[in-house]
A and B are shown apart, each in its own frame.
Chain A
Amino acid sequence: MSVTATKTDFDLLPFAGEHHEEIPFIRKYIFSTDHKMISRQFLFMSLIFLALGGTLAAMIRWQLGFPGQPMPGGGVLPDTMAPGGIILPEFYNSLVTMHGTFMIFFAIMPLLVGVFGNLLIPLQIGAADMAFPRLNMFSFWLAVPAGFMMLGSFFVEGGAAGAGWTSYAPLSSSGEFTGVYLGQQLWLGSLFILGFSSIFGSVNYVTTIINMRAPGLTWFRIPLATWSLFITAWLVLLAMPILAGALIMLLADQTLGTTFFTPETGGEPLLWQHLFWYFGHPEVYILILPAMGIASEVVANGSRKPVFGYRSMVLAMISIAFLAWIVWGHHMFMSGMNPMLGMAFMITTMLIAVPSAIKVFNWLGTMWKGNIHYHTPFLHGAAFVSLFIIGGLSGIFMAVTPVDIQIHDTYFIVAHIHYVLFGGSLFGIFAGIIFWYPKFFGGIMNEFWGKIHFGLTFVLYNVVFFPMHSLGVQGMMRRLYDPYQYEFLAPLLPLNRFISVTVFGLVAVQAIFAANFLISLRRSNKCGPNPWKANSLEWTLPSPPPHGNFQEMPVVYRGPYEYSLPGAAEDYLLQSEPETGTEGAERPLEPAAH
């Protein structure tokens, strides 16, 4: 073995054993440069925004289920939002806009990229920290003021932005149309700052993964979670600046009196849509790719089998990321674009079904004939796969231009986006939080309550969102304050009321997760390094890993999914374990914690 030959390189790394001095409170918990602490900070921040986004959703559903009736507890809201608890139309616009904005930019995106990117990348590649730890800290501390700006916009004159999360111009470019002036500007400024945070984060992720892998960790031995975060980081890196450019122009239209997006003086409203969706479609994959990576990890772990088609999984993610750049027009079929161009976008969009289907079949192939352990992360991972299938199929409906004419901007798209973003991304996030909870906080979450939460969420989720396909096909447009003023939509009130009541249940059920999460934080809740008997490098470390992570540089000998090797003593084999033979019983089952 040439391990000793590479040892000389390792001495240069700042490993955990080298420094023991106490870190002052502020540097440890607030302005920390430790990737694990930054990950935890992102986790708490984005879970708070997730709860807020859910509350806004419940308020939207109150208006749709019980239009014009006073909302329970709505009395606490100021008269500019909901006098006497009755939601005003302007406030409803803000609710719809801010629900989307918070969920996409401040909940799902930081949960996937900020939380798991920070936690998993250094741990899974055997690095002591990120390439640029101070830049990493800066990323988090840019996201916080951006969040406060967005939150604060509710309380300025005119209320929060109300032009939808897509902020189409010219609706968004002048306050005359929505009655929102400062709120829209805060929205633009907040996302601009958040863009910086995301770009700096991506520079860190890409650099770290390219340059700081442990010896032996070749590209095709990297765990799929890290692979997915690597590809996502590229998308963030290249898409966010496009949004930044568009945001600046819209902000200039709002404040300086330029007319980039106003037609009277030569501006082009459609230009905003092009710029926005040129960012927006890669953004869609930013929101799903890391969840795919997490699902691959938990599905393989629960099935106790290697990931079926590991390489094709990686290549499929790369293809999806590539196709992301040439499909943005499918958001704009109804903008009056040339039918030939629409057809080109239709074909490129349908092409995405190929790598997506490869991934789905690979997940099924992973589970096939596996010795399945139905632990909570696996259940969430399996839910991810099944709901992603539904979300993917409804996506094909909308990719077909003639069908899109009927269902464009209806509840069909609302159903579709929630099947991929809630059914896909959020179930992936639940799987990830539960699976890596030991690496976040050192213990393990309660499995019984985890399964209760999973079962209720899964059922209620489908009851809420599946009927929305039907609402959309029947012509119910999204973002309507009172759909029932139209005669043909009036009969949909009972179904909407049923969905609304279910939503309140769905939101309430999340309290089980919150309680389980918080109670599991207690210090007495401790588990060993590898409670799920998984293979990648983070499971060789104590839970939670110490500052600096690895006591000595790990060496990687194999891929991350060597489950149930024939003849091996255990049904898993750590990536850093030197021998593969049947004498596996001699190795320590769980490496000693330092």
Chain B
Amino acid sequence: MTSQAAAVELPGRRPETGVEGVYTLKLGMWIFLLSEVMFFTSLIGTYVILRFAHPEHFAEPGEVLSIELTAINTFVLICSSVTMVKAFASLQHGDQAGLKKWLLATIILGTTFVGVQVYEYIHLIEEGFVPMTELYRAEGGPLYGSTFYLMTGFHGTHVTIGVLALIFVLTKAMRGEYTPQSLGGVEIVGLYWHFVDLVWIVLFTIVYLI
């Protein structure tokens, strides 16, 4: 075969960059996020199917769940994505102080989001909006509570894991371990953070607004 000589000229692949130009750590995070998409699809799909099949088990938007409070919380989470972008941009420009500042801002906003969600949960549980069929006393039916806590609970868990990861990244940033040449850790946590943010926008729309 004559094409064999040409084949040798293919550039080598190495773990740091890969020939496709996406470095391995980032590629791995993208692939993991695809898996996460499927996980949230199973939860959201369940909600959609049950709600279509049994509309009498669900309440009108705003009847049980507070749209105002959650809209503010959604804004908080979107802002945290902006600060995450600012953190990564600072690092790319070699601005270490900016990196730390914006990471801290992202952590504070993320924690606020989880805090507001916990406050909302406590409030809802007092009203009898619970996942347990036996104890459910709110508008609609118990399926409403079950699916609500299932989706928002797993999203909240993801936000919490994201905050912990950001704290880990911040401690490494404090030690000056990230440079414009070595920024993988910040970028993949950023990817994860934006993904979690995106999931929330879908959840806010279909759980609270529609």
Q: Do A and B come from one complex?
A: yes
Binding site for B on A (CB under 8 A): 1-3, 5-6, 9-10, 12-13, 127, 131-132, 199, 202-204, 206-207, 210-216, 218, 221, 237-242, 244-246, 248-249, 252, 256-260, 265-268, 271, 275, 553, 555-558, 580
Indicate which residue in A238, A245, A257 contacts B46 across the interface (CB closer than 8 Å).
A245
**5 tightest A-B CB contacts, nearest first:** A245-B42, A211-B18, A241-B39, A9-B12, A258-B146
User: CB within 8 Å of A: which of B13-54?
Assistant: 13-16, 18-20, 22-24, 27-28, 31-32, 34-36, 38-39, 41-43, 46, 49-50, 53-54
Q: In the assembled complex, which residues on chain B have CB atoms less than 8 Å from the CB atom of A555? A: 8
Q: How far is the CB of A425 from chain B (nearest CB, A)?
A: 24
**With contact pairs A207-B27, A271-B50 given, residues A199 and B12 touching in the complex (Cβ less than 8 Å):** no
User: In this assembly, does B68 line the interface, its C-beta being within 8 Å of a C-beta of chain A?
Assistant: no
Q: Given A13-B15, A131-B28, A259-B146, is A210 in contact with B35 using a C-beta cutoff of 8 Å?
A: no
Chain A residues in 8 Å Cβ range of B46: 245, 249, 260, 271, 275
Are the C-beta atoms of B7 and A12 separated by less than 8 Å?
Answer: no
Could you give 14 example pairs across A and B, Cβ below 8 Å?
A: A9-B13, A127-B15, A132-B28, A199-B35, A207-B28, A211-B22, A211-B24, A238-B38, A242-B38, A245-B46, A258-B146, A265-B57, A275-B42, A556-B7
Q: Does B141 contact A (CB under 8 A)?
A: yes
When distances are taken between beta carbons in the complex, the residues of chain B under 8 Å from A558 are 1, 4, 7
**Which residues does chain B contribute within 8 Å of A265, judged by CB atoms?**
57, 133, 141-143
Q: Which residue of B lies closest to A207 (CB)?
A: B28
| B26 → A minimal CB distance (Å) | 10
What residue in chain B is nearest A259 (Cβ atoms)?
Answer: B133
Shortest CB-to-CB span from B160 to chain A, Å, is 17
Query: If the complex has contacts A6-B12, A258-B131, are A207 and B38 also in contact, measured as CB distance less than 8 A?
Result: no
Which residues 131-155 in B have Cβ within 8 Å of A in the complex? 131-135, 141-143, 146-147, 150, 154
- Whether A266 and B54, one on each chain, are in contact in the complex, defined by CB atoms closer than 8 angstroms, is yes
Most buried by A among B18, B135, B146: B146
Q: Are A248 and B13 closer than 8 Å at their CB atoms?
A: no
In the bound complex, residues from chain A placing their C-beta under 8 Å from that of B57 are 265-266
B148, chain A: closest CB distance, angstroms: 11
Interface residues of B (CB under 8 A from A): 1, 4-5, 7-16, 18-20, 22-24, 27-28, 31-32, 34-36, 38-39, 41-43, 46, 49-50, 53-54, 56-57, 131-135, 141-143, 146-147, 150, 154
Distance, CA A2 to CA B6, complexed state (A)? 9
Chain B interface SS verdict (over half): helix
The complex places the Cα of A221 from the Cα of B16 at a distance, in Å, of 23
Closest A residue, CB atoms, query B134: A257
Residue of A nearest to B58 (CB): A266
Question: Within the assembled complex, what's the spacing in Å between the Cα atoms of A123 and B18?
Answer: 17
Q: Assuming A9-B14, A12-B16, A241-B36, is B8 touching A1 (CB within 8 A)?
A: yes
Would you call B28 and A215 a contact (CB within 8 A)? no
Closest to B30 in A: A207
B150 interface neighbour in A202, A214, A252, Cβ under 8 Å: A252
Residue with the greatest number of chain A CB neighbours at <10 A, chosen from B16, B18, B46: B46
Chain B residues with CB under 8 Å of A266's CB are 50, 53-54, 56-57, 141-143
Question: Measured between alpha carbons, how far is A259 from B143 in the docked complex, in Å?
Answer: 7
